[in-house]
Chain A
Amino acid sequence: MERPLTSNIKPGQPAPDLAEYERSGGYEAVRKALRELTPAQLTGIVKDSNLRGRGGAGFPTGSKWSFVPMGETALRPKYLVANADEMEPGAFKDRVLLEGDPHQLIEGMILAAYAIQAEAAYIFLREEYKQAERTLRKAVAETYQAGYLGKNILGSSYRLELYVHVSAGRYICGEESGLLNALEGKRAIPRSRPPFPQTSGLWGKGTIVNNVETLCNVPHIVRNGAEWFRKLSLTGDGGTKLYGASGKVKRPGLWELPMGTPIREILEEHAGGMRDGVRFRALLPGGASTDFLTEEHLDVRMDFSSVEKAGSRLGTGTMIILDDKTCPVGMVHNLELFFARESCGWCTPCREGLPWTEKILREIEAGRGRTSDLDRLALHARLLGPGRTFCALAPGAMEPLQSALKYFREDFERHIREKRCPWS
């Protein structure tokens, strides 16, 4: 099985330096693109590959690029941003790519930047990823030295400056337009759309924001072709996918597998099944902001459309496992505490509704819940749902809550009836 994204990543060993990366075929795609491909041709290849954004939303990457104004009349400079602000609870896939093979990301960024003819690129990195920061800074310096960045890249007329920008915290910075405000030195409040960042992004110029894993796929697509990429997948969405598992499984970790690998295979073969003494109860398939799935969903394939049909989202593809010795109400409370704390406070339903939700859950968990609380939680799940808030943070927060009310109803009721948490 081919594992293009992780073939250079060896656990416990330092990331490949520039020379090692080049020996594995690194920067061949940049050479090819700059010599043989027009920006439109490059975008076309990525479109044909069916690469969909790996940050969670799954938007087709080539289409996203094609919205950027091109030609003489486009406002300049244009920007390419790698979203390395991995803050979704339960997600750790981008960290592995950043620490393990930084040149793969940089090469993907040069290609994406070339496709939209950007003059500058930023890696927007979360503050806590210290090792990733060291690895990236070293790799960026090497890349400049070798002439893959800066003026006249590989003797072409194309130039690109690339900077590492280290953030200062807050989950909302991972939201595309909040990220742009953070980069501009403002509070990371999401922006109203339209205009979309592709036409009016950083400092009002055309900007593409792509997730780290998305960008890391690009060199391989350019080198091996769109058809090769599509065939890596078991389903319609192209490529491989980084899948992770955390919680009380035997071997928590991260694996690159064909897109569309069933949940059961990831859980049992790769994560080794549940630890001794605990049983599987449910899982969040793609991070904190995705709906719970249960035993009946274990044969669902982990791709965008299959997980959606099962009532949840692929999200980041990093699963969080709930076991039978962990209180589901406590878990949902923990999730809502995170979202309440991370709400940027800009729009009222999110700013007020999330702390309210968190308090109700805290009371239920502490044995002070009332039966009417369950209706109130269901009401919040509706009022903070899609279309009622400024961005996707609150609707995301409601996904685990609404599915918990569906699958763990009896556990909520037992807390209220017995006036205590049955797990404590």
Chain B
Amino acid sequence: MLTPEEIRELEADLAHYPQKQSGCVDALKIVQRRRGWISDDTLREVAVYLEMTPEELDGVATFYPVIFRRQVGRHIIRICDSVSCWIMGYEKVYSALNGTLGIRLGETTADGRFTLLPSACLGVCEHAPALMIDDDLIADWNPGNVDGILSRYP
């Protein structure tokens, strides 16, 4: 069941669109923010609310990379692997995180703390190489102080 808080936030957002279904990506994001990811059960609850079939909603959910249809860690690390970051040292960034966390792209640490994902160009090419941890941008990363940075995300 969607919670009253979720429904309140969904209603405010859906007012921006002439059709309920137009807000479906927003709806998935709103629910995911509270639940971490979109399980099959969650998908069905949101679909009912939006008057869509779960299949229709899943077709949308699986298209967009920030909607997680599998369980992810508490914190998401997105490493930019597009061209400017690749030139400026993407490999070093990846190796530093892979070495410290012991996971590859698409994997989650055994303690459920971090998920490591590739990201398309983050749009900070003048500060390459770059990555994001949750909503925080880390740019011009050489990479130093790996443990210090990761410790901010318990």
- Interface on A for B, CB 8 Å cutoff? 77, 86-92, 94-95, 122, 126-131, 163, 165-171, 182-188, 203, 244-248, 252-254, 284, 288, 318, 320-323, 326, 330-331, 334-335, 337-338, 341-342, 344
11 further A-B contacts with Cβ under 8 Å, apart from A203-B18, A247-B88, A252-B128, are A89-B84, A90-B82, A128-B132, A167-B64, A168-B64, A169-B66, A188-B64, A246-B87, A331-B83, A331-B86, A338-B81
Residue B59 at the chain A interface, CB threshold 8 Å = yes
Q: Which residues of B9-27 are within 8 A (CB) of A? A: 16-19, 21-26
* Secondary structure type dominating chain B contacts: mixed
Q: Please report the C-alpha to C-alpha distance between residue A316 and residue B25 in the assembled complex, in whole angstroms.
A: 28
A92 pairs with B120, CB closer than 8 A: no
B interface with A by C-beta (< 8 Å): 16-19, 21-26, 28-29, 59-60, 63-67, 78, 81-84, 86-88, 119-128, 132, 135, 137
A392 CA to B6 CA, complexed, in Å: 39
Contact A246/B64 with A130-B137, A185-B22, A203-B19 known, Cβ cut-off 8 Å:
no
* Residues of chain B contacted by A90 (CB below 8 angstroms): 82-84, 121, 125
By secondary structure, the A interface counts as mixed
Contacts of B18 in A (CB 8 A): 77, 203
Residue of B nearest to A95 (CB): B123
Choose from B17, B120, B127 the contact partner of A89 (Cβ within 8 Å): B120
Contact A185 B123, beta carbon cutoff 8 Å: no
B25 close to A168 (CB less than 8 A): yes
Give the residue name and chain of the A residue nearest to B78 (CB): A128
A334 touches B83 (CB 8 A): yes
Q: Are B120 and A171 in contact (CB under 8 A)?
A: yes
Q: Which of A129, A247, A337 contacts B87 (CB 8 A)?
A: A247
A337 nearest CB neighbor, chain B only: B81
Question: Residues of B contacting A95 with CB < 8 Å?
Answer: 123-124
How distant is the Cα of A94 from the Cα of B17 in the complex, in angstroms?
Answer: 25
Our pick among A185, A253, A322 for the contact of B21 (Cβ within 8 Å) is: A185
Report whether A170 and B123 are in contact in the complex, using a CB–CB cutoff of 8 Å. Answer: no
Contacts of B59 in A (CB 8 A): 187
Q: Which residue of B lies closest to A169 (CB)?
A: B65
Q: Are A128 and B16 in contact (CB under 8 A)?
A: no
Q: Which residue of A lies closest to B18 (CB)?
A: A203
Q: Which 5 A-B pairs have the closest CB atoms?
A: A168-B64, A246-B125, A89-B82, A89-B121, A169-B65
Assuming the contacts A128-B132, A203-B18, asked whether A170 and B83 have C-beta atoms less than 8 A apart, the reply is no
The CA-CA distance from A191 to B82 in the complex, in Å, is 26
Cβ–Cβ < 8 Å partners of A246 in chain B = 84, 87-88, 125-126, 128
| Distance of A288 Cα from B83 Cα, bound (Å) | 8
Closest Cβ of chain A: how far from B49's Cβ, in Å? 13
Distance A277 CA – B36 CA, assembled complex (angstroms): 46
A127 touches B22 (CB 8 A): no
| A-B contacts, 30 listed (Cβ < 8 Å) | A86-B123, A89-B84, A89-B121, A90-B82, A91-B125, A92-B123, A122-B16, A128-B137, A129-B123, A165-B16, A165-B26, A170-B63, A184-B19, A185-B17, A185-B19, A203-B19, A246-B125, A247-B87, A248-B88, A252-B126, A252-B128, A320-B83, A320-B87, A322-B87, A323-B87, A326-B87, A331-B87, A335-B83, A338-B81, A338-B121
Considering only CB atoms, which chain A residue lies closest to B24 in the complex? A185
- Other-chain residue from A94, A128, A323, A338 in contact with B83 (beta carbon distance below 8 A): A338
